[in-house]
Amino acid sequence: MLARVAYLNTGTFGPLPQRSADAMAAEQKRHVEEGRAGRPFFERMLGLREAVREALARLLGAPEPSSVALTTSTTEGCNAVVGGLRLGAGDEVVTTDVEHPGLLGALRAWDVTVRVARVRDRPAREALGAIEAEISPRTRLLALSHVAWTTGAVLPIRELSGRGIPVLVDGAQGAGAIPVDVADLGCDFYTVSGQKWLLGPDATGGLYVRPDRVGDLAMTFASYISWEDPYELAPWPDARRFDAGWVALGSLAGLLASLSLAEEAGDERFGRARAVAELCRALVGRRAEVVTEPDQATLVSWKPEGDAAAVAKRLADEGIVVRDLPGAGWVRASCGFWTSEEEIERLAAAL
C-alpha cells in the first residue's frame, strides 16, 4: 500500500506491517489445520495475551505488565474507567473541546456534570490555565487526550496529575506516535488503540491502570478472562480484572508482531516522526493556514481552500490519503516514522 499511495491517515488506521499480516495468516492457518480446542489451544491464547500485555507495558513505561488490561479499543478503556469510578449526580468531570467521541461518549453516558475547557482556539501554552479554570471542589475526574485528534496539540498531562483528582488519558493519538511514560506523566489511567500508531489489527487496545487505583474501579464488565480463578470467581488483584474478554488469536499475534517492529525501530522513531511532521507543517503552511502549532505531535491540521471533505477526496484520487475533520472544516495529515519526505512534498504540491 505504501508503494502505491502517500498514506497520511494513521490517526485513523495505521498501515499494517507485512510481518503482522503474516502472523495473523499463520494463526488462522493453525486454526484450520489444528482446530480451536484443547489445552494447547488455550495455553497458546493465554501465552499470546501475556506477551502482548508485556509489550504494551514496555511501550507505556508501566511499572509491571499486570497494570495493563487488554481491550478492543480506546473507547472501551474510557468506558471501563468512567463507569468503574461510579460517578453520579453532583459529580463533575473536566474535559476539553478537542476530545474524540470515544471519550466524550463515555462521559455523556453517565449522570455527571461535564465541564469543558476551551482549548481548541488557544495557543498550546494556555491549555493548562484553561483546564485549571474548570476544576472545582466537585471535580471527580480529569478526562482528556494526550494528543488532540483535531489539532495535534500535546496536552499538559503531567502538570494536571498528582492533584488528588484521577486523570484519565485518551492515548489514541499518543501511544506509538510520541514517547509515553505513564510513571513520568503521573496519570492514573491511560488508554491505547492498537490499530492507529501501534500499526496493529483493528479491535485491539489496552488500558493502563495505576496499581494503587485498581481498587477504585468497579468491574462494570466481567469476562471469563477477568477472573484469576474463573470457577471460584475470584478476580485478578490488578488491572487484568478489566480485560475486555476474548481477543482473536490472530489479532493478538498481529499486534505482537507490530509492537516488535516498533521496538526494533527504537526510540529514534519518535524523533523521525516529529521531524517529518515539522516538514509537513512547513510545506503545507506555504499553501494553506496551518492549525497545528510547532513542536507538537505527529498530526498536522490545516484550513483548506474550499470544502474540506472535497479536498480530502481530491487528494485521495491523486494517491494522497489524508482525512477531513467533520465539524471543523479542516484537513489532517498523520506523519509516521515510515513517512518519507517525498510523500510530504507530494502533498504540498497537490495543494
CA dist., res. 93 & res. 182, Å (int) = 21
pLDDT in tens, 13-57: 999 999 999 999 999 999 999 999 999 999 999 999 999 999 999
CB 208 within 8 A of CB 181: no
CA dist., res. 52 & res. 57, Å (int) = 9
Instruction: Compute, in degrees rounded to 10, the torsion defined by CA atoms 72, 78, 81, 83.
Output: -100
pLDDT in tens, 180-222: 999 999 999 999 999 999 999 999 999 999 999 999 999 999 9
Sign of CA dihedral 316, 343, 56, 48: positive
pLDDT in tens, 228-249: 998 999 999 999 999 988 999 9
CB 57 within 8 A of CB 70: no
pLDDT in tens, 321-330: 999 999 999 9
Strand residue runs (E) in 127-260:
139-145, 167-170, 189-193, 205-209, 227-229, 234-235
